[in-house]
Amino acid sequence: MRTLIAIPVYNEERYVRGVLSHVLEYAEAGDVLVIDDGSTDRTAELVSKFPVDVLRHAANRGYGRSMRDAFNWAIVHRFDWVITMDCDEQHEPAALPMFRRESARIGDDAADVVSGSRYLDSSSQTEGSPPPDRRSINRVMTEEINQRLGLSLTDSFCGFKSYRVDALRRLRLDEDGYAFPMQFWVQAVAHGLRVREVPVRLIYNDPNRTFGGPLDDPTIRLRHYRRVLRCELARCAERLPKSALRQLEGTRCCEE
């Protein structure tokens, strides 16, 4: 089973050396892909010192675009699974073997998406905590996703995940920004992907990290996430249960 480790980065000169050094303890060099989303600091220079594959955007194109590039790379290069993780030391490379084990389950235990959750196991050790608005928006959107789609997620935004590449071939993702998970979850249900959550440690080292631009305003960010979710529900309506589509009448997807 070939597994790609895909790491989106944007201006991560503070962390990238430590993260890549640790990741390479658990993966072969040819199985690691860094997607540099137009970094303007020393990230590109530092990444070049490691024996990993690199996709570099000439300009910042967004988290969702980096994720889609990772999926496409995994498809083109015939990987069986792709594990995505952040490069800010919030995701522990030591958890990579666990994701591989979970991905290798067969039969009734098999999944197409093994999704990390920072809130599944309340007894898990934590290190720092996210700003209140981030935790609140995660909770609100996770509840709405569960109600709409019949899922039982505890953490809809965690980027530490393992995806079956054959399952990704069914999806038609085009969201470039931070609302990417909203589109992904709708399409995952619409295309019948099997989802399982696994606990990962809650680590939050930098409470001053920002989204940039209008999304730094929590009200605008929540409204944007809801718009993307509802537009994707409308777009996938024929593949979703009617219960997922309540109150969508009149939704205008082109407006914030």
Look up the CATH number of the domain holding residue 114. 3.90.550.10
Number of domains present in the structure of the chain: 1
DSSP H or E run through 235: helix 218-235
Centre a 10 Å sphere on the Cβ of residue 169 and count the other Cβ atoms it contains: 11
* Residue 256 belongs to a domain: no
- The residue range of the domain holding 73 is 3-210
Local structure of 181: helix, strand or coil: helix
* Residue 183 belongs to a domain: yes
- Per-residue confidence (pLDDT) for residue 117, from 0 to 100: 96
- As a whole number of angstroms, the distance between CA 156 and CA 181 comes to 7
- Per-residue confidence (pLDDT) for residue 232, from 0 to 100: 96
Return the ∠ at Cα 211 (arms to 113 and 163), rounded to 5°.
10
- Per-residue confidence (pLDDT) for residue 38, from 0 to 100: 97
Terminal Cα distance for the chain, rounded: 43
Return the ∠ at Cα 60 (arms to 160 and 193), rounded to 5°.
35
* Residue 39 belongs to a domain: yes
* Residue 244 belongs to a domain: no
* Residue 217 belongs to a domain: no
Q: What is the pLDDT along the chain (256 residues), one digit of tens a residue?
A: 899 999 999 999 999 999 999 999 999 889 999 999 999 999 999 999 999 999 999 999 999 999 999 999 999 999 999 999 999 888 999 999 999 999 999 888 899 999 999 998 876 656 667 778 999 999 999 999 999 999 999 999 999 999 999 999 999 999 999 999 999 999 999 999 999 999 999 887 777 778 888 999 999 999 999 999 999 999 999 999 877 777 665 555 544 4
* Residue 247 belongs to a domain: no
* Residue 215 belongs to a domain: no
* Residue 240 belongs to a domain: no
